[in-house]
Structure 1
């Protein structure tokens, strides 16, 4: 009898040892099992000169994701976003990403913000390709996320900076503004935009007449008087800015203070709503005009266009979403609506759709298969989202806006910008 008990104990110990050695099911990695929580890692600037952009982007995507989870998720699978602040600096973004992959074992990386930060982590996607690590819908229109060798690991929703700059250049040239200067951030983001302007002009037999660059991290307090003077020496008809809201607003302020009323155009990443707020406050302080002759390209339609069902849905959920989560400090005043939070909202919808389509078997290696299945998806914004084999950017639409009634509104007729 004693011998039988010994044998049973040994067998039990072996079973326990083997069971401990077997891999456990993780809601982070999304291995098949009982429905649970799929975790996604988001690195963005939540502080610093570009902090509001990260906060509003996060608020937009969380407004939808909380709605998604509250309605049962997808067959019981819910979504959790882990936000991490990188201050719009590459090294913290890199460190956040390593932690997401190695320690948090996230299902995927999601909604990173900015070109210099996102471009810095692209080699990690290649390094961890055996773990099927993908980046979904970053807020950047730069080419490294769309081309080899890293494009195969990234799915983008928004139009590219090349598409935004081409649209601005083509429309300005059509109304006779052929002498275009560029003010840009001296990093991967700014150089991509500068290159986009240069390429678009070259296709039309023109060239950049003058350029000036500044270092990333510039605040609204920075003086750009010398950059303004340098550009004005070339006699431009218009200036295209490739910057952030603080730097672009400061440049416009100093340009208007110097007596120049040329059109100034910016890209979607400038966060036009925040830029306009800074310039409006400057107008009230000084009595001068800073918000006239401004143009901004956008990658989502105007959030005031109530004819679009996607806009109405966004506004409804944003009005019901009051939080800033764990990304904003005390005293932060959220915007009711903005182009940035609307883009984040659409990202949230796309993430929910991906999870919905793989809810029967959520595994990281299925991401390409599921994303390829998203073709002609209607988001209620007037254009459909299409991915598919060889296509990893879902939307190409670019919208052009100017200030009217205290907000950036669609440009109805470019003729008003004639030289």
Structure 2
């Protein structure tokens, strides 16, 4: 008789404009889980993930989650991608008393006492907002524009940015412009931003929308210092832009530097990835997937041999020394300044 698998479910973006986020994320997750399963899994039990594509749309994520929670053997909802999708799914998870584990989001709306069924392993968007604002103001940028995705993700980061600008810096954005999720239609937003002559732009969306906004601004003769956060997708953003356009964009990061071989976890990640694909590219998103898979496996080993939703939850909370960042909560990298870039 085959050992009973340990089953998780994941709603994530695998199609549409933000698809690279999902594809790179599961590359890291599957890399680590395959290694563990090849070595016998958890006391002989393989770890399996049931996945459905949501296209980074909340309604799809809700429908996917509705299917997931009806399965009685499900141990958890793992590695959901995005704030609007995770937020839409949370009421179903709460009703079924199933945890959403390690979602790829730093939104404040999904944290705190009112969200007992989410277990986080990444820094918050508020932490990333502080890192960006502090850098800009300390370097003399005070005319700061914000382009934000017009949903729970963008508004969450927008609120954090406004709060950080106000206190302690006593500033406010020169303009805040909404951007449509999953869209390259940013021409009008670029015109509005250019009209306010910012010296810096904080762009909050996914890589294709951010790239479109930057290119539209540049085509109109506006070249502000651009900053964005980890969820954008660093490597995908680089690939969306001409090299000269991407140069100097600042991106916050919440995982270790994927090319830093001084870090033992990064060495493991690179070794495992090159073992299955000698030509594979390293990136921040797949490393995050790899790291949350490690967290999950460690918790499963602690919970074994009696693994159920409750014992896994207890083990995850013990394991939750918080972050997957390797000691530095939020880092800041600038594109075009390092040899790792294509």
TM-score, normalised relative to structure 2? 0.93
Cα RMSD (Å): 2.3
Q: Distance in 2 between matches of 1:408 and 1:197?
A: 29
1:364–1:375 Cα change, 3 Å: closer
Alignment equivalent of 2:127, drawn from 163, 166, 171: 163
Q: Distance in 1 between matches of 2:260 and 2:77?
A: 31
Alignment equivalent of 1:400, drawn from 332, 339, 342: 332
Is 1:273–1:408's contact at 8 Å kept on the other side of the alignment?
no
Is 2:300–2:312's contact at 8 Å kept on the other side of the alignment?
no
Q: Distance in 2 between matches of 1:110 and 1:60?
A: 13
SS at match of 2:77: strand
Alignment match, 1:393: none
Is 2:69–2:93's contact at 8 Å kept on the other side of the alignment?
no
1:407–1:225 Cα change, 3 Å: farther
Is 1:56–1:335's contact at 8 Å kept on the other side of the alignment?
no
Matches of residues 404-419 of structure 1 in structure 2 within 5 Å?
Answer: 404=336
Alignment match, 2:248: 293
Is 1:112–1:118's contact at 8 Å kept on the other side of the alignment?
yes
Matches of residues 50-199 of structure 1 in structure 2 within 5 Å?
Answer: 50-103=18-71, 105-129=73-97, 133-150=98-115, 152-199=116-163
Q: Distance in 2 between matches of 1:205 and 1:72?
A: 56
Give the greater-gyration-radius structure (CA).
1
Alignment match, 1:388: none
Q: After the TM superposition, which segments of 4 or more aligned residues of structure 1 sit over 3 Å from their partners?
A: 375-379, 405-409
Q: How far 1:408 sits from its partner (Å)?
A: 7.0
SS at match of 1:404: coil
Is 1:45–1:51's contact at 8 Å kept on the other side of the alignment?
yes
Is 1:42–1:109's contact at 8 Å kept on the other side of the alignment?
yes
Task: Note the alpha carbon deviations across 1:201-228, whole angstroms, 9 max, x for none.
Answer: 0112111111111211103xx3x33322
Alignment equivalent of 1:312, drawn from 256, 267, 275: 267
SS at match of 1:88: coil
Q: How far 1:377 sits from its partner (Å)?
A: 8.9
Gaps in structure 1 of 5+ consecutive residues: 1-33, 284-288, 323-333, 384-395, 410-419
Deviates more, 1:301-310 or 1:59-68: 301-310
1:48–1:177 Cα change, 3 Å: same
Matches of residues 247-396 of structure 1 in structure 2 within 5 Å?
Answer: 247-280=209-242, 289-322=244-277, 336-374=281-319, 382-383=326-327
Alignment match, 1:390: none
Q: Distance in 2 between matches of 1:377 and 1:248?
A: 29
Q: Distance in 2 between matches of 1:254 and 1:377?
A: 39
